[in-house]
């Protein structure tokens, strides 16, 4: 048993866990951070950072291949997957060392091992052989931040060679000639965009009527057209019956035909890591397959909190970080002052072109009975977009029809993930569309599309022809 008295014990050192630990340490709390793997979690090691490093490489490749559009001549533009993987690993290694250094410098006790609840007030730490190496007793608060893993499908049994999950796909050093992707969510779409640019023949199979189910339909439809230009085959409303690996590749059985490929990526979501966590021993309740939490990220056991993918909320690294901040801030205050508001959280999909979104869609507003007005503006009418050759896409804003308060923002186009921050701030500050029209944006910039979209809410976009009155 540990003879140290911890204010906070955290199980899981991903972007939720390690950031919470550092933030708590900044406020003078004694913190234990438990994880069998190096800090950083899925985001750093097999998720956000590795994939975005690959996106950066293929974006440069696209520009080089299309250099004549910029009046630049590049004789040969090609990329090797093995070299991209090598660069990717260097980026991950550097960032991982930085995270470990931050943990050490802030006085957080990093305990290598697997943490599980022994009771509502105790955490056991076990080694790889499941031997108990340490017990953390009576911390003031506990945070469970164990993340998630790729969801397996019994009809497509993973072998790690031909039938792959997203972790497996990152281990490839040779380009899959014919890649089939089961799942048209953000993971499937991002990998489709990456591998098609590298030269794979890519087919995406999605059971729903559109890609990126749950996102604004205009974004989904535009992305599908973009995928067609990139020679990515998209098949919607498709139900896979089974998938079988062979020596030569993989065979996927649909309702009325069989598709052949060299590899199959199963990208049908992620499953919260709740197994072997001692939830039953501590009396922590599940909500489906996830740990149930309230707006303060508390479980049904008041001193035990959960954050990140394990809660089954928005499975995004910055959501885990935000949830951790709520827990730590309330712990410091001694009462629940901070709370999560998921309508104020942006999401990004790093396809080509990028997609970013925040807040309500038109359909969600209708479901909630909120009257809205909508404004949309194309990047094709923005000078900086033409200069950069990034004219695909648009900005779409949604505001309350009566108060004018901004409720949602949706962007498809170059640098969408960066641009969404401006709309996020406006929504966080409860700004109105009118206030946004009064804001001065630098010229020439892509962000001027946000200004024009806010003007379009009133039918007054400067650089669009005004609709004729009937």
- Active-site residue 443, yes or no? yes
- Residue 345 contacts residue 320 (beta carbons within 8 Å): no
Query: Phi, psi (5° rounding) for residue 407?
Result: -115, -25
Rounded Cα distance, 445 and 378, in Å: 13
- Residue 147 contacts residue 15 (beta carbons within 8 Å): no
- Residue 421 contacts residue 394 (beta carbons within 8 Å): no
- Residue 38 contacts residue 100 (beta carbons within 8 Å): yes
Reading the block at residue 43, the tokens are: 């985001």
Rounded Cα distance, 77 and 60, in Å: 9
Residue with tokens 């020596």: 247
Q: Which long-range contacts (CB under 8 A, 24 or more apart) does 95-102 make?
A: 95/40, 95/44, 95/49, 96/38, 96/39, 96/40, 96/44, 96/45, 99/18, 99/39, 99/40, 99/44, 100/38, 100/39, 102/18, 102/22
Rounded Cα distance, 48 and 417, in Å: 13
- Residue 379 contacts residue 413 (beta carbons within 8 Å): yes
Reading the block at residue 361, the tokens are: 């869609």
Degrees to nearest 5, angle at CA 310 with 56 and 223: 40
**Nearest CA-CA partner of 139 in 25, 294, 292, 32:** 32
Annotated catalytic residue within 318, 415, 443, 463 = 443
Reading the block at residue 33, the tokens are: 């951070």
Q: Which residues contact 308 (CB under 8 A, 6 or more apart)?
A: 12, 14, 15, 16, 17, 145, 146, 147, 148, 315, 319, 320, 323, 324
- Residue 351 contacts residue 193 (beta carbons within 8 Å): yes
Annotated catalytic sites, by residue? Answer: 443
């Amino acid at each position: 048993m540990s003879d140290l008295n911890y204010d906070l014990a955290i199980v899981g050192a991903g972007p939720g866990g390690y950031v919470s630990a550092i933030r708590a340490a900044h406020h003078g709390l004694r913190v234990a951070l438990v994880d069998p793997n190096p800090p950083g979690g899925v985001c750093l090691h097999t998720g956000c950072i590795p994939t975005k490093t690959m996106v950066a490489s293929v974006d440069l490749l696209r520009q080089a291949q299309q250099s004549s559009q910029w009046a630049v001549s590049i004789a040969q533009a090609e990329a090797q997957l093995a070299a991209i993987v090598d660069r990717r690993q260097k980026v991950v290694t550097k960032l991982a060392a930085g995270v470990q250094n931050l943990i050490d410098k802030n006085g957080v006790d990093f305990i290598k091992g697997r943490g599980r609840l022994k009771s509502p007030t105790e955490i056991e730490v076990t080694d790889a052989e499941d031997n108990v190496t340490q017990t953390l007793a009576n911390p003031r608060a506990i945070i469970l931040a164990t993340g998630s893993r790729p969801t397996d499908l019994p009809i497509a049994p993973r072998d790690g060679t031909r039938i792959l999950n997203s972790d497996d796909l990152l281990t490839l050093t040779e380009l899959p000639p014919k890649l089939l992707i089961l799942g048209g969510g953000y993971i499937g779409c991002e990998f489709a965009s990456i591998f098609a640019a590298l030269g794979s023949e890519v087919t995406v199979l999605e059971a729903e009527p559109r890609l990126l189910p749950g996102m604004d339909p205009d974004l989904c439809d535009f992305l599908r057209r973009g995928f067609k230009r990139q020679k990515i085959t998209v098949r919607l409303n498709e139900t896979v019956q089974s998938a079988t690996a062979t020596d030569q590749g993989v065979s996927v059985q649909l309702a009325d035909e069989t598709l052949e490929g060299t590899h199959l990526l199963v990208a049908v979501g992620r499953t919260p890591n709740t197994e072997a966590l001692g939830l039953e021993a501590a009396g922590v309740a599940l909500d489906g397959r996830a740990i149930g939490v309230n707006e303060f990220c508390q479980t049904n056991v008041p001193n035990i909190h959960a954050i990140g993918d394990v809660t089954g909320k928005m499975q995004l690294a910055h959501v885990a970080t935000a949830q951790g901040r709520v827990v730590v801030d309330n712990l410091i205050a001694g009462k629940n002052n901070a709370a999560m508001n998921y309508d104020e959280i942006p999401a990004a999909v790093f396809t080509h072109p990028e997609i970013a979104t925040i807040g309500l869609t038109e359909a969600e507003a209708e479901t909630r009975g909120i009257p809205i007005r909508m404004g949309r503006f194309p990047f094709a009418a923005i000078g900086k977009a033409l200069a950069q050759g990034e004219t695909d896409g648009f900005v779409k804003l949604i505001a309350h029809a009566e108060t004018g308060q901004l409720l949602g923002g949706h962007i498809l186009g170059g640098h969408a993930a960066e641009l969404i921050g401006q709309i996020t701030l406006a929504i966080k500050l409860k700004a109105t569309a009118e206030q946004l029209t009064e804001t001065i944006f630098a010229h020439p910039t892509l962000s001027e599309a946000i200004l024009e979209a806010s003007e379009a809410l009133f039918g007054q976009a400067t650089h669009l022809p005004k609709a004729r009155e009937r």
